[in-house]
Amino acid sequence: MLIAQISDPHLRPSGVLYQETADSNGDLIRAIDQLNRLAPQPDLVVLTGDVVDHGSPAEYAVARDILSRLKAPLLVIPGNHDERGAFRHAFQDHAYLPSEGPLHYVVTVGERRVIALDVTIPGEHHGLFDAAAEAWLEAALAAQPDWPTIIMMHQPPIMTGVPYLDEYRCLGADRLAACIARVPAVERLLCGHVHRLMQMRFGGTLLMTAPSTTTAIALQIDPAAEPASFIEPPGFLLHDWRDAHSLLTHYLPIGTFPGPFPFA
C-alpha cells in the first residue's frame, strides 16, 4: 500500500501569490502532476492541513479545482490557516468528515487504518490535544487495537528547536504520547505545519513532518532567530506500507531534474 503525503499548500485565490512571493497554486499543480506520474500510483493521498491560507470561499474553490486533478483518493484535515466551517463546506462530499465538532475521523483499508486527529483551535496558530481529543482517540484506537495504524494531524506535538515554530506546536504532548504508547500498532504519526521534513521518536512510534508543497520555513535554531522562509525545492513524502508492521518512507523533491542516467 502506497500513501503519498502532501502538506501546507496555502492556496490563494486565482492569480494571487502566497505572501506576495510564491505561486502556491502553481506549486500544488506541479506536485499533483508529479504524483499522477508515479508508477505504481499511490493508493491514497493524505493532505495534512493548511489547504488554504486565509480560509476564504474563493481559496477553497481553487483548492477543489486543483485537488480534483489527483488520480488517487484523497483524505484531508484542516490546519491553523483553514477555517473549519468553510473547510467542512468545501469538502462536504468527503463522506468520512463528521458533520459537526472537530474533524476527527477513521478510514480503514482492509485491516489497516488511518486516523485523522483535528487538533486545531479556531483563531489560534497552535494546536491542542485536550481531554476531549484524548477520549475520542482512545476510543478510536480501542476499536481495533491490533490493526496497523497511521495517525495524521497538523501541528506536531514536539519542540523542534526553531523558536518561531515551537511557539505554535501542538500542546498536550505528554497526554498524546501516553495515549499512543498504549497501542503498539501505531506505525507513524504524520504531521505538517512546519514546512520541513523532520522526524523523531514519539509515544513509542515515529513522528514525521512533511515539507510544504510551496515555501520552506527557515531552519534556524538560534533562540533569537526571527521568522523566515525560503523558496527551496518543495517536496512530499511517499509512505510504502509494505506489510502490516513494515512502513518505509521516501522523500521526493518536486520538480524536473537532470536524468535519468543509465547508472545506479
Q: What is the pLDDT of residue 179?
A: 97
Q: What is the pLDDT of residue 110?
A: 86
Q: What is the pLDDT of residue 245?
A: 80
CB atoms within 10 A of CB 167: 10
Cell of 240: 510504502
Q: What is the pLDDT of residue 41?
A: 97
Beta bridge partners of 113: 108, 149
Tell me the mean pLDDT per 10 residues along the chain, length 264. 97 97 98 97 97 98 98 98 97 96 95 96 96 98 96 98 96 98 96 98 98 98 96 97 89 95 96
Q: What is the pLDDT of residue 149?
A: 97
Q: What is the pLDDT of residue 39?
A: 96
Beta bridge partners of 208: 190, 199
Q: What is the pLDDT of residue 244?
A: 75
CATH code given to domain 2-253: 3.60.21.10
Cα(57)–Cα(59) distance, integer angstroms: 5
Cα(11)–Cα(13) distance, integer angstroms: 7
- Residue 118 exposure: Cα atoms within 13 Å on the Cβ side: 22
Cα(158)–Cα(166) distance, integer angstroms: 8
Q: What is the pLDDT of residue 186?
A: 97
Give the β-pairing of 149-152 and 186-191.
parallel
